Amino acid sequence: MDNQKQLYDIMDACLLAGKVMLQSGAETFRVEDTMVRMASALGAGETYSYVTPTVIMFSASGRGEATTRLIRISARTTDLKKVAMVNSVSRKISTGELNLSDAWIELKEIEAARLTYSLFYQVFAAAIASGCFTVMFKGSWMDFLPSVAAGGAGFFSAIYLHRFVPIKFFSEFLASAMIGLISFAFIKSGLGQELDKIIIGSVMPLVPGLLITNAVRDLMAGHLVSGISKGAEAFLTAFAIGSGIAVVLSLL
């Protein structure tokens, strides 16, 4: 009886670790790997985990019967710091530095923590990155500042609108429409040189680059369901951005 209770606790800790990692944008195979490692270090018997971008299934057997649990993941962001922190917790468990209850407390703290950079820093970073991308894609330095303005405004409105409209597609659509409008205004007023370069640089912070790459990588690693669902997400985002820009360009 006691054994069964302990098995449940181990599973809870593993599921929590997996949930935090997946919500923070870790790769699916890393989540599976971490959960299995943690469970075996904590003393569970045979364990299996199956992770897709939207669900975690985890099955473990102690001395008695096997149990399977499931967690649904609805929202995902990219928060690499949390991935690193959960990773170090699992590392400490494997070396025996942390026992089950300490690990549980630490994981709970990580889950509740708000570690993201402030909105200002994020928008600032997006703005600077947009300007840099314009130059990297062989745009002129003349277009640096217009891209900074358009990219910053686009990224800010994507985050801001997402709070009102929970559907990611629409916030991205409106944000890229905004980028199109601002870039067009810069060209019309004579402050910008090449419309295409400014737009491509400014949409880079919104573009699902990470998703596209991870999708192909998952497909190659044999995680077919994850690969296809990430690919679908990337396609939707690219479609939202492209149509947002196209609506503006066709109206003007």
Partner 1 sequence: MVYFSQLITSFVASAAFGVMFNAPKESLVKCGVSGMLGWMLYFILESNGYGTILATLAASFLIAVISQVMAKMYRTPIIIFSVAGIIPLVPGGLSYDAMRHFVEKDYMGTVTLAAKASMISGALAVGLVFSEVFNQIIWRSGKTHK
Which residues are bridge partners to 56 per DSSP? 51, 71
Select the residue interacting with partner 1 from 115, 165, 167, 251 (CB under 8 A): 115
Residue in the block written with tokens 């985890």 = 58
Name the segment binding partner 1 (CB under 8 A); options: 3-11, 36-44, 60-68, 76-84: 76-84
d(CA 2, CA 191): 72
Name the segment binding partner 1 (CB under 8 A); options: 41-49, 68-76, 97-105, 235-243: 235-243
For the chain, counts of helices (H) and of strands (E): 10, 3
* CA quadruple 165, 170, 176, 177: dihedral sign: negative
Site membership for partner 1, residue 204 (CB under 8 A) = yes
At 250 the three-state DSSP class reads: helix
d(CA 99, CA 90): 11
Site for partner 1 in 24-43 (CB under 8 A): 25-27, 30
Q: Site map for partner 1, 153-192, x if CB under 8 A?
A: --x-------------------------------------
Q: % helix / strand / coil in the chain, to the nearest 5?
A: 70, 10, 20
Q: Are 198 and 170 in contact (CB under 8 A)?
A: no
Select the residue interacting with partner 1 from 66, 70, 84, 224 (CB under 8 A): 84
Select the residue interacting with partner 1 from 122, 191, 195, 229 (CB under 8 A): 122
Select the residue interacting with partner 1 from 76, 217, 228, 229 (CB under 8 A): 217
Give the helix ranges, DSSP H, for 100-167.
100-112, 119-136, 144-164
* Chain residues that interact with partner 1, rule: CB under 8 A: 25-27, 30, 78-84, 87-88, 91, 115-117, 121-122, 125-126, 128-129, 131-133, 135-137, 141, 155, 199-200, 203-205, 207-210, 212-213, 216-217, 220-221, 238-239, 241-243, 245-247, 249-250
